[in-house]
Amino acid sequence: MSFTQRRNAVTIDIEALNETFASMDFEDRIRKLYEYFPVEEVLFTSSFGTKSVVMLTLVSRANLRQKVHMLNTGYHFPETLAYKDTLQELTGLEVVEIHPDSERHRLTEESQMWDSQPGRCCHYNKVMPLKAVKAEHTVWMSGVHSYQTMNRAAMEIFEEVDGLIHFHPLIDITEGEFLYLLEKDKLPRHPLEAQGYGSIGCHHCTRPGQGRAGRWAGKDRDECGLHVK
């Protein structure tokens, strides 16, 4: 049986999982996940942005065998790449970079697609490359927070989308709880936070601003498409 056939054959009670995990603290949720799914079937992604370090730290405590995948769009700030190296050393997690198709990436570069068609630029450099990797896993774990966007406010701890289980262990964390965990463990912040960046993506589409206000400034967007159903 192929991996895809095996994944499709698995029947998961999402409602039961949400009930079981709801009362757990954030680290216990992540640790508990591996009682249901082997680490090889869990895809964990991180942007290595301003909200990443807490999730990465909790995952490293729960299972050091968990790899963390990063979408390297070719448009990251140098500070983000340096921060990735810092957090990889801090957590001990292996980082696997996902790159877009070279031809599609070239098209976004030559046409400055991030300005004229930001949705398509995100699709070529983020959504499409990740889609191929998602097909190889049963669970996609990410560190989204409900307060970040209207779209994320509607998410649950577990959801099933197109046959893939989405796991959001920090979905109900508050900004206060996030800051407490950050300060309690004296975790390093993204270097651009000190310059007023509340959220950080590709350098063309990121400006200083509170929360995600600096993302796709003037483009009426607050999501790249990865976490949109």
Is residue 45 within 8 A of residue 71, CB to CB? The reply is yes
In angstroms, rounded to a whole number, what is the distance separating the alpha carbons of residues 118 and 180? 35
In angstroms, rounded to a whole number, what is the distance separating the alpha carbons of residues 217 and 74? 20
* Cα angle: 98, vertex 40, 38; to 5 degrees: 145
H or E stretch covering 180: helix 175-184
Known catalytic residue at 224: yes
Residues 6+ apart with CB under 8 A from 74: 99, 100, 105, 109, 125
Active site residues: 224
